[in-house]
Amino acid sequence: MAVLPFVDISMLASDSREDRLGVARALDRACTDAGFLYIGGAQLDWALFRRLVARAEAYFALDREVKMANYIGHSQNHSGYVPVGEEQFGAGTSDLKEAYDVNRDYPWPEGRRPLLGPNNWPQMPGFREDVSAYYRHLTDIGGQIFRAFALALGLEEDHFDAHRRNPPSQLRLIHYPFDSSAQDRPGIGAHTDYECFTLLFATAAGLQILDRKGDWVDVPLMDGAMIMNIGDMMEILSNGRYVATTHRVKKVAQQRYAFPFFHACDYDYVVAPLVGDEAPRYAPLKGGEHLFNQTAQTFAYLKRRIAKGELVLANAMPLDSFGRRQGPSGA
């Protein structure tokens, strides 16, 4: 079992800068030491969490043909239903999971990007309302955490505010079915998250992280807390102070629902080290371009477009470009 730090973020809502600095220092220590941690706080609305679970249970119980009416490959902004087998990381087996992906609902014709546009919503009463409420809630909490990171990195507290006008942040509703015949097929293959940081709520165990020895270790759930981890972009922004930790979901021992929210900056934001006089260890990259390139290397419908010559990726990086590498004892 992984022993992860816990950070109470309640005081990020305080009017006292010293209170907020205290949380920023604790967050800095946890992200420097581990890259994966638990967070809790008075901000977390568990009633919204319970509604989201109920909505996911009802949606994923629908017939496959009904769900495929909102197949992600038909969307304008990479949103919608992700069937089992759609995603594959590298040369591994395809993931044993299904999902519904929701991005920032951006209805305006100007400023659209591959990950920024109108969401693809199912015709299920209450789904859009409950999922949107959760999306707004996690967006607000993410804004507080972005300000804490700014303080931790020695920046003005509002540094990231101007770069989060319309970010392509994504919420995933993921269903990991239990399948005793699935051999060792993973729920999701080994990867780092592409964005700045992730906030995860899940209903059962199954998540594993790659530790510094190169071993896979289980991450247990903690009552009243979410799991948080560093992504590729925050590794760059911190100039390697924080490292994106490789993780996966192993074959689940019971049905599992998970709701990761991936927090990003605006699509055109240039991600580059932000830490004083240190020599930069990373080349700048375009945030939205990186997100789309990494996504296109894992989703079957985008791979088909690439194979047909309909889609050409510019400046694409290998999927394992960030985080710690798997050692010889890793599975």
Q: Residues of the chain whose pLDDT is less than 70?
A: 90-92, 180-187, 324-331
Tell me, yes or no, whether 26 lies in a domain: no
In-domain check, residue 321: no
Residue 140 lies in a domain: no
Number of folded domains that form the chain: 1
| Residue 330 within a domain | no
Given this model, what pLDDT does residue 88 score?
Answer: 84
Residue 180 has a pLDDT of 66
In a domain, 31, yes or no: no
Please check whether residue 68 lies inside any domain of the structure: yes
Count of other CB atoms within 10 angstroms of residue 103: 24
What pLDDT sits at residue 89?
76
CB-neighbour burial class of residue 84 (10 A; exposed 0-12, middle 13-18, buried 19+): middle
Q: What is the pLDDT of residue 92?
A: 65
pLDDT at 90: 62
CATH of the domain at 112: 2.60.120.330
Count of residues in the chain: 331
Collect all residues with Cβ–Cβ distance below 8 Å to 279 and sequence separation of at least 6.
none
Q: Kindly state whether residue 85 falls inside one of the protein's structural domains.
A: yes
Instruction: Give me the domain span that covers residue 186.
Output: 48-122+163-307
pLDDT at 183: 54
Convert the pLDDT of each residue in 84-138 to its tens digit. 999 987 666 778 899 999 999 999 999 999 899 999 999 999 999 999 999 999 9
Which single residue is written with the structure tokens 């769900």?
Answer: 67
The predicted structure's pLDDT at residue 106 = 94
**Stated pTM of the model:** 0.94
3-state SS of the chain is CCCCCEEECHHHHCCCHHHHHHHHHHHHHHHHHCCEEEEECCCCCHHHHHHHHHHHHHHHCCCHHHHHCCEHHHCCCCCEEECCCCEECCCCCECCCEEEEEECECCCCCCCECCEECCCCCCCCCHHHHHHHHHHHHHHHHHHHHHHHHHHCCCCCCCCHHHCCCCCCEEEEEEECCCCCCCCCCCEEEECCCCCEEEEEECCCCEEEECCCCCEEECCCCCCCEEEEECHHHHHHCCCCCCCCCEEECCCCCCEEEEEEEECCCCCCEECCCCCCCCCCCCCEEHHHHHHHHHHCCEHHHHHHHHCCCCCCCCCCCCCCCCCCCCCCCC
Residue 314: inside a domain: no
Reference 199, options 258, 244, 260, 246; nearest CA is: 260
